[in-house]
Structure 1
Amino acid sequence: MGKGPVFREHFFQYKWNYLLGAILLSISLLFQLLIPLLLEKFADGIQEGSIEVSFLWELALWFTVVGIGIFIFRSIGRIYIFRMSRMLERDLRKELFQHWEKLPAEYYQKQKIGNLMAHAVNDVNILRQIGMQGVFQMVEAVVLITIAVIMMAATIHFSLTLLVLLPLPGLTYIAYRFRAKIQWQSRKVQEAIGTLTSRVQEFCSGIQIIKTYVQEQEQLNKFTQENDQNVEVNKQLIRSNSLFTSLSQGIVGLSYLVSIVYGSILVMQGSISLGEFVAFNTYLSLLIAPIENIGKVINLLQQGKAADKRIREVLSTEPEIRDEEGVLPIADVKGNLQIRNLSFQYQSSTSFSLKKINLTIPKGTSLAIIGKVGSGKSTLVNLLLRLYNPPKNTIFIDGHDIHSLRLKQLRTSISYVPQDNFLFSSTIKENIAFDPKPYEDILVVQAAKHASVYEDIQEFPSGFETVMGERGLSLSGGQRQRVSIARALIKPSPIVIIDDSLSAVDSKTESFILQTLQNEMKGRTSIIISHRISTIKDADQIIVLDKGEIVERGTHQSLLDHGGIYESMYMQQMTELKMARKMNQPSNERTILMRRRRD
């Protein structure tokens, strides 16, 4: 969609469909406007005493034809118009989802999930209502009011019609006075819904922590406060809507009062017949609902403007990370990586996360990155994947600046095991084979074996078809890590990145996985981030990051000989390992002693 209002663009895109629906609805309204004429003949016949049985049969036939005509044309017209609104809902949600996929990770760090859900659910529903009830009721009002007023003024009594219509412009004034207020309150309602949805989502995701820290009451208090706020802003909108509707109905009622009083006088004076009086009031009764609906439509349009503005804000957000113009696909990526004088700073940060990084990782070799928390390890990976945009001419693959590679080709060339081991709430098989390319079952099984998770999967009743809970929480931390590794291993990409993804497995499993990785990653460029030196000691080159800078680099042995940060970390981890072994030793000795005593 372009830069104009969302619904307007949709309306003009499907204008012929809306026109056909409006024509069919208008035909049904013409049938409906025959009812006052039939009642006029019937009332005049009663007044004159000229009604015969044949006339009643003829009248009944006409009412039947009118009823069938209204049913057929109104139903088909309604289907056409309502179908277009459902297409708007479908297209808009799809466009929102596609646009969200293009936005960088930093965008989602600034947004609440509840607000995003409110866009896709509540805001879209409001625009759909405009396409359904809004268009339907507006067509009905315009056609019915125009023709009915002409019939009332031209065929019955002009001054009576003028007096009845005199209060109706007050509807426009009331709509104008309430317009800005209802639009502002509608926006507040949508924001309150987004906040409340975010609270529920956060509660569901953190339920284990909440229970562990006995924070149920505190969470309930926060939810109650936000829930009360949601009710309050809705009450304000309801009060405005109710007052608007009541004033509109009061104006319509005033018109009806004028019709009854002045119309009765005209009948008694003989200016109009009883049949014309009945027909006039029937016309007026047909007008009441459309005139009231005008107010409702105006009200709905104000809510729609607020919803449209929120959706347009999302769609107008330009993705910072996208393919540049004129970028062409290159030949197959081989995996030669080079980083030249890379410095990077997050928009929300006042300091650099990476400073003057220079690296060369030849095809088929391995790089290990180690460092303290916050030293910039994951930032470097995010830049390689272009989840954030690095400065130009700083990161190269096969001699090409990664800005000159299409995003799809870049990310297809990299298998990535993230630190948080995110899994989808689908089957284990679908999580391992998470790739546009389909994989045979034998490859899924093979990847699971290489990641040392095959036996765990076999213990589940449904095996690889086991459906996991949200974010894969039905698995243990180690199982999630190994499924994530299997997902990366099955993908035949020239570059593999493993971001601290062995922390939740025991040393024996870690040793097996590392041995498998060495075999699987032969000929593939690999980057491994870890806090365990045992995980990275066999890498071709190792770098130590500290405060965003490379402070040490070399092989495992050369770094130990250097006697710097790496050697200090190694000695600390070895000391911790020895202490852990000593803590287990007394338990083993006591077991041996008890056995000897029994013997």
Structure 2
Amino acid sequence: MVRKDIFWSHIKRNRWAYVMGFALLSISSVLQLVIPWLLGRFTDSLQVGGLTYQGAVQLAVWMTAAGFGIAFFRSVSRIYLFRLSRQLEMRVRGELFEHWEKLSAQYFNNRRIGDLMSHAISDVGVVREVTMQGYFNVMEAVFLIVVSVAAMVTSVNPWLTLLTMLPLPLLSLLAYRFNKRIMQQSADMQAAISDLTSRVQEFTAGVRVVKAFVQEKAERALFTKDNQKAVDMNRRFVRSNSLFGALSTGIVGFSFLVSVVLGGIMVLRGTITLGEFVAFNTYLSLLMGPIENLGKVVNLLQRGRASELRLLDIFNTQPDIVDDVMAKEEITEIQGEIEIRNLTFSYPEAKRPTLRDISLKVPRGSSLAIVGRVGSGKSTLVHLLVRLYNPPAGTVFIDGHDIHEIPLRTLRGQIGIVPQDQFLFSSTIRDNIGFDPKPYSDEQVVQAAKIAQVYDNIVEFPNQFDTALGERGISLSGGQRQRVSIARAVIKKPSVLIFDDSLSAVDTITEDLILEGLQTVMTQRTTIIIGHRISSVQNADQIIVMDQGRIVERGTHRSLVAQSGIYADMYHKQLLDEEAERQESEGAGAADAASQASLRLKGGAGA
């Protein structure tokens, strides 16, 4: 469903609340008109000498009461209407976040984090300002203008009112001329803020790389450029806004000039009284503020429209990974039997398929290992199993069901995946391990940490499992992040476990301990392991070797080594590397022993 607006749907949803706010504001506006009328009476009484002490006190009391009434009803109406704008801000941000959660990974691959942050903060803030200041000023101006003009016509002079109001329609023409310019400049300003936000986000995320390559000066230059662009865009907008405001004030000032000149002539001729002249100009002064605000509101509305269009562009982006029409709600769990039939898959922006003619079967409770060169399609294959991307229908089956028949909540809830990037949230270690809709006990968290061989590291921290991690878990080492990610997948006790090159940052001893701990977890669970080390995959029930998106070899460790293909080459190369490391370690140990013996001999000779 295409979403067409944000503002009007908000007004329709809260129409009775806005009616109440308008009623309160109307009472305040009516009370404002009492003061000019009282001033007119006071002036006429003073002119004819009929003003008594009692009459002056009475007028003062009425004016004071009107002032308090204006302040009370105006404040209450502002609080009432501004609360509605804050509710809109909270609701739009909530809907925006909820919509982002529905979008696939592909959407975020093509967006900068700074842009998304700008939408959630800056654009939504402008929308709030429109409903806060914009609607309030429009309501006040419309009612006050109508009532004030009616009072000026009926209680003073219709011709003076007409001639005084004659220049004011020029404000509408002025607003029309500035309309497109301000809207475009507002959009440019928001885009510049997005660029600046993205620059700051990239710097903070990559600060270690910046320092390691001594790029502080270059980064500062890039930031200065984006910062200057944001300033320039703001200056353009401020210039247009200021010019519009100055011209609006000039038009309003001309109306005052007409009022003073023509009204003074009418007083001298006796057409109107001095009190009516004072009341008329007081009415006009009350009117000028809302009329000027009306011009500012036009600018605000253009800014709001630009931000609204940016937000609507997000809201109208349809998620491409959703429960299929063929999804069966009765499927609430999966057992773990996986079958892939003639799967060929291409990313939307790719010119050639990433996977080609993939066919394999993984029985329930068995293990599959996937090895291959970088870019051979290993991670893509497991991403299709959790539908981070949509495989073609009729190619991927779990428990005999086409994967499109399984609801996403069931599919992803029953599969535990340790991704390649080991993303951790800036929360506690406990929260990262227990990252799941259902709560876990402390014992379960501890047990998962022990299986992942990270428990000993955690208890060394002062706050242990309550240790707060930095952005993306930066306070942990690469190996520790991988093991916390493993614990997060293990604690779910899923039907299918997927390890996407999740042991690359640990040493071989820790790898052996992790694999040993996982043996109990992998029992009766389908396990898929992607790895580059033969040691991490050699015990799998079946191993496939991928190259350029195809399965080029398959079998057990023993049979693949005997084939003398890609797998055998990888195996022998890693054996040679391990042997070289062992000899280097032994050589270093022998050198240390020789050095110590030499020192002992020298010490003995000295004695």
TM-score past 0.5 threshold: yes
Give the corresponding residue for 1:196.
196
* AA at the equivalent of 1:438: P
CA drift of 1:271 comes to: 1.0
> Whole-Å Cα distance in 2 between the matches of residues 4 and 10 of structure 1?
12
**CA deviation map 1:279-299 (0-9, x unaligned):** 000000001110001101111
The alpha carbon displacement at 1:331 in A equals 4.5
Does the residue aligned with 2:438 lie in a helix, a strand or coil?
coil
Q: CA shift at 1:596, angstroms?
A: 3.4
Aligned to 1:86: 86
Give the 3-state SS of the residue equivalent to 2:397 in structure 1: strand
1:16 corresponds to? 16
Name the residue aligned to 2:381: 380
Tell me how far apart the structure 2 counterparts of residues 475 and 129 of structure 1 sit (CA, whole Å): 42
> Which range is displaced more, 307-316 or 330-339?
330-339
Match of 1:408 in 2: 409
Q: Tell me if the contact between 2:267 and 2:274 (Cα under 8 Å) persists in the aligned partners.
A: yes
What is the letter of the counterpart of residue 498 of structure 2?
I
2:148 partner SS: helix
Q: Could you tell me how far apart the structure 1 residues matched to 2:59 and 2:583 are?
A: 105
For 1:142, give the aligned amino acid: V
What does residue range 453-492 of structure 1 map to in structure 2 within 5 Å?
453-492=454-493
Q: Secondary structure at the match of 1:388?
A: coil
User: For residue 446 of structure 1, what is the amino acid of its counterpart?
Assistant: Q
CA distance in 2, matches of 1:78, 1:443: 52
d(CA) in 1 for partners of 2:168 and 2:277? Answer: 20
Q: SS of the residue aligned with 1:403?
A: helix
Deviations 1:487-543 (A, max 9, x none): 011002100000001111111111000011111110000000001000000000000
Alignment of 1:250-329 (within 5 A): 250-325=250-325, 327-329=327-329
Determine the C-alpha separation between the residues in 1 that align with 2:30 and 2:423: 60
Q: Quote the Cα distance in structure 2 between the aligned partners of 1:399 and 1:424.
A: 36
CA deviation map 1:344-393 (0-9, x unaligned): 11111111110010010011000000001000001001111100011001
CA deviation digits over 1:19-39, x for unaligned, max 9? Answer: 110011001110111000110
Distance in structure 1 (CA, Å) of the matches to 2:3 and 2:384? 31
Q: Which amino acid aligns with 2:97?
A: F
Cα separation, 2, equivalents of 1:4 and 1:36? 44
Could you say what secondary structure the match of 2:248 adopts? helix
Query: In structure 2, what is the Cα distance between the partners aligned to 1:173 and 1:81?
Result: 29
Per the TM alignment, residue 327 of structure 1 is displaced from its structure 2 partner at its CA by 2.6
Q: 1:565 is matched with which residue?
A: 566
SS at match of 2:358: strand
Q: Give, in whole Å, the separation in 2 of the partners of 1:331 and 1:155.
A: 76
The residue that corresponds to 1:428 in the other structure is 429
The answer on whether the counterparts of 2:183 and 2:303 sit within 8 Å (CA) in structure 1 is yes
TM score, norm. by length of structure 2: 0.97
- In structure 1, what is the equivalent of residue 33 of structure 2? 33
Which amino acid in structure 1 is aligned with residue 475 of structure 2?
A: S
CA distance in 2, matches of 1:229, 1:128: 25
SS in 2 for 1:452: coil
Q: What CA distance in whole angstroms lies between the structure 2 residues aligned with 1:116 and 1:540?
A: 44
Q: Is the Cα–Cα contact under 8 Å of residues 496 and 524 in structure 1 kept in the other structure?
A: yes
Question: 2: CA distance between counterparts of 1:460 and 1:215?
Answer: 33
> 2-side partners of 1:530 and 1:41: how far apart?
92
Q: Distance in 1 between matches of 2:327 and 2:381?
A: 24
The match for 2:147 is 147
Q: Which runs of 5+ in 1 are unaligned?
A: none
Amino acid at match of 2:184: W
CA shift at 1:60, angstroms?
1.9
Per mean C-alpha deviation after superposition, the further-off stretch among 324-333 and 490-499 is 324-333
Helix, strand or coil: the match of 2:370?
strand
After superposition, what is the alpha-carbon deviation per residue over 1:180-226, rounded to whole angstroms, capped at 9, x for unaligned?
Answer: 11111111111111111001100000011111111111111111111
Verify the 8 A CA contact 2:368 2:543 in the aligned structure 1. yes
- Of 413-422 and 63-72, more deviation after overlay is shown by 63-72
Secondary structure class of the residue paired with 1:33: helix
Q: What is the CA–CA distance in structure 1 between the aligned matches of 2:151 and 2:464, rounded to whole Å? A: 74
Amino acid in structure 1 at the alignment position of 2:309: K
The structural deviation recorded for 1:2 is 5.6
Letter of the structure 2 residue corresponding to residue 560 of structure 1? V
1:395 corresponds to: 396
Please state how far the C-alpha of 1:591 moved relative to its aligned partner: 2.0
Cross-structure match for 2:519: 518
Q: In the alignment, what sits opposite 1:114?
A: 114
Return the alpha-carbon distance in structure 2 between the equivalents of residues 567 and 324 of structure 1: 42
Aligned twin of 1:339:
340
Shift of 1:48: 1.0
Query: Which residue matches 1:133?
Result: 133
Which TM-score applies when normalising by structure 1? 0.99
Aligned to 2:298, the other structure's residue is in SS state helix
Partner of 2:605: none
- 2:332–2:410 CA contact under 8 A, matched in 1: no
Q: Contact 1:140–1:290 at 8 Å: present in 2 too? A: yes
Give, in whole Å, the separation in 2 of the partners of 1:160 and 1:266.
9
1:542–1:555 contact (8 Å) kept in structure 2: yes
Structure 1 stretches of 4+ with a deviation exceeding 4 A read none
CA contact (8 A) 1:334 1:398 kept: yes
Amino acid at match of 1:245: G
Matched, 1:371 2:372: yes
Unaligned runs of 5+ in 2: 602-607
- The residue identity in structure 1 corresponding to 2:310 is R
* Displacement after TM superposition at 1:72 (Å): 2.1
Secondary structure of residue in 1 paired with 2:199: helix
Cα 1:574–1:326 shift into 2, 3 Å: closer
**CA positional deviation for 1:70:** 1.2
CA distance in 1, matches of 2:589, 2:560: 36
Q: Distance in 2 between matches of 1:593 and 1:158?
A: 114
SS in 1 for 2:382: helix
- Asked if the contact 2:340–2:397 (Cα under 8 Å) also holds between the matched residues in 1, the reply is yes
Of 588-597 and 577-586, the range deviating more from structure 2 = 588-597
Which residue matches 1:164? Answer: 164
- SS of 1:208's equivalent in the other structure is helix
Verify the 8 A CA contact 2:326 2:404 in the aligned structure 1: no
Equivalent residue of 2:229, what SS?
helix
Which residue number in structure 2 is paired with residue 581 of structure 1? 582
Contact 1:2 1:9 in 2 (8 A): no
Query: More displaced, 539-548 or 585-594?
Result: 585-594
In 1, the alpha carbon distance for the partners of 2:338 and 2:202 equals 39
Deviates more, 1:320-329 or 1:457-466: 320-329
Amino acid at match of 2:367: S
Q: Measure how far apart 1:64 and its partner are.
A: 2.3
SS in 1 for 2:393: coil
CA contact (8 A) 2:343 2:359 kept: yes
Give secondary structure in 1 for the equivalent of 2:497. strand
What letter corresponds to residue 457 of structure 1 in structure 2? I
Paired residues of 2:561 and 2:568 also in contact (CA < 8 A) = yes
- Shift in Å, 1:328: 2.6
* Aligned 1:164-243 pairs, distance under 5 A: 164-243=164-243
Deviation of residue 586 (structure 1)? 1.7
Q: Deviations over 1:67-90 (max 9, x none)?
A: 221122112211221111111101
Give deviations 1:144-175, integer Å, cap 9, x for gaps: 01110111111101111111101000000000
Provide the secondary structure at the position in 2 that maps to 1:340. Answer: strand
